[in-house]
Chains A and B, each alone.
Chain A
Amino acid sequence: MTGTAAPIIDIRDLTVTFIGGRKPVHAVNGVTLAIQPAEVLALLGESGSGKSVTLRSLLGLHPPGRTSIGGSIQVAGKDVMALSGRALADFRGKTVSMIFQEPLLALDPVYTVGAQIAETIQRHEAVSRVKARARALALLQKVRIPSPERRLDAFPHEMSGGMRQRAMIALALACNPQILLADEPTTALDATVQIQILLLLRELQRELGLTVILVTHDIGVAVEVADRVAVMYAGRIVETGPVREIIRNPRHPYTQGLLASRAHGAMTGSRLDAIPGSPPDLADLPPGCSFAPRCKHAKATCVETAPEIRSVTADHWMRCMLDAEAAE
């Protein structure tokens, strides 16, 4: 799509279906994404749109017995789906690592922060306990935790939410990964802390040349850190393009709806625009465009056939049959 350099992450036609329930749930339905090295991509969408599932597939975290995965995922030259056992464990944390939404739940409550970081380092590299601890300290300094020497021996529940998320980031960066996956890293935090964490992420990304995929449902977060946005709906990417382009010139009716529903810039006292209806049942997807039942521009063809992806400009793509120009 963009540029000529080889993408570091190349997802082709990814489908993830959860089986084992009464009906198979189609969480991801053909996601194709290419991400350049040192690019920051925001995956935007509401709950259940498949953004976290896509992210977890990159680490091969879905239990094989209960999920069926199709398509291909290439990360840093490796075929993730072909990895297993030792090779997969080496890949996780070392090439790609992840930060989670709620750091209090994602940090083990019975170990100190320092011990957890040191443990991850020792898992991937043959270093002594003392050296691993020294590196853990350096990491805590890097994420700018106040008095890092003392925080090394603190338990997660003794820290504030923002500090815990900083510790989580330090843990994720422990083995110098090339790619950082962030699953709603600021959702559980206060508004004032959110911006600090986002600035930190942006800064670390620039400094270390990280490739970042940020999952969020908050357009504000995406604008703050991302270079490019991919909007997901019902397990498909419906629109992708550079942040500016998406904000200024959204073409897909769903993206337009998302932008219109923001509180930002709305008149005091006026009602916020909401998208009517609710997302489709992933166990029972409509044959046509999955957004058609909620779309105010939907035509008969929308309900019958699924739209193909098509380009708006060179790096702005979307999945809608209607000419967005005419739709407005």
Chain B
Amino acid sequence: MAVGALDNKNVIAPIQVSDGYWKGVLRRLMRDPVTMGALIVILLLVLMAIFAPYLAPADPFKSSMLRRLRPIGTPGFPLGADELGRDMLSRLIFGARLSLFMGVTPVLMAFVIGSGLGIFAGYVGGALNTAIMRTIDVFYAFPSVLLAVALSGALGAGIFNALVSLTIVFIPPITRVAESVTTQVRNRDYVEAARASGASGLTIVRVHVLGNVLSPIFVYATSLVSVSMILASGLSFLGLGVRPPEPEWGLMLNTLRTAIYVNPLVAALPGVMIFITSISFNMFSDGLRSAMDVRA
């Protein structure tokens, strides 16, 4: 810049104009190819689940004794056929519906209940906090797989019971994260500053605690979706979740396991789907964490 320009009163220093928190998060997400890739995979899976009837080349329930365990690439069966001669591709497409549902729903319910409980415990503190958190710790003591199996076993098989038991499994870890983040936020200067400017307890929780606490809990919850999917698959595998002949990836893995020596590639396909979905959710949650960090 010419020296003379410095005297010009019209020169305005460029100011970085911020365009809102969520726009900033979105902009940072867009710049991250791995996260965007994971997001695209997740969106494709969701679209596949929604439009399953239009996408599936065959009826996923139609069995045929003559076409059992066809290998991948058989004409009419692009991904082979399962142990009852049903089209694998169609079953995998339809399976996305239940598998995604079982992956997302328990986490969503646990997110609502767990963050409510954790924020309450963290904000109130004292003896009530101890009571809530120690109760939560009791659940935390069990390995999550064991707890899920035990709960579904006690409640009985079925999709609804599997959802309930998975929700119960995810409440403790989410509550814990919510409680620890809230305890940190509660002691921050801006909470005291808000109190010093006349904010009521409710306003502080609603505006300052929720505003600062929800995104870390949300990021943590997204990372649980893959765990939930795997656990739900496990429950189905054990015969505690989805019941045959309903297509669900975990259940398909279970029923195909007898064919692992006959046609290992076909038997592995549901596992591949579970793997792709869970790794996409994990990578997305990782990217989301860094994109949401305001002070980065």
Contacts and interface: CB of A to CB of B under 8 A. Distances in A.
A153 B20 CA distance: 8
B199 A102 contact: no
A147 B294 contact: no
Interface residues of B, number: 28
Contacts of A174: 197
Interface string A93-122: 110011010100111111110000001100
Interface in A148-195: 150-151, 153-155, 157-158, 171-172, 174-175
B16 A61 contact: no
Given A119-B207, A147-B12, A110 B197 contact: no
A123 B197 contact: yes
A121 to B, nearest CB: 10
B212 A154 contact: no
A61 B198 CA distance: 11
Contact of B198 (A93, A146, A153): A93
B51 interface: no
Nearest to B211: A110
A261 to B, nearest CB: 29
A102 B189 contact: yes
B194 interface: yes
A150 B15 CA distance: 8
Given A102-B189, A109-B294, A97 B196 contact: yes
A291 interface: no
Given A106-B189, A107-B193, A92 B15 contact: no
A90 interface: yes
A157 B196 contact: no
Interface in B88-128: 126
Given A106-B190, A157-B294, A172 B197 contact: yes
Contacts of A109: 190, 212, 294-295
B18 interface: yes
A92 B197 contact: yes
A100 B189 contact: yes
A233 B196 CA distance: 25
A110 B193 contact: no
Interface of A: 59, 61, 65, 86, 89-94, 97-98, 100, 102, 105-112, 119-120, 123-124, 146-147, 150-151, 153-155, 157-158, 171-172, 174-175
Interface of B: 12-13, 15-18, 20-21, 126, 188-190, 192-200, 203, 207-208, 211-212, 294-295
Q: Which 5 A-B pairs have the closest CB atoms?
A: A93-B198, A93-B197, A105-B189, A92-B198, A106-B189
Given A98-B197, A108-B190, A151-B15, 17 more contacts: A61-B192, A86-B200, A89-B199, A92-B196, A92-B197, A102-B189, A105-B189, A105-B190, A108-B211, A110-B211, A111-B207, A112-B18, A146-B13, A153-B20, A154-B17, A157-B295, A171-B193
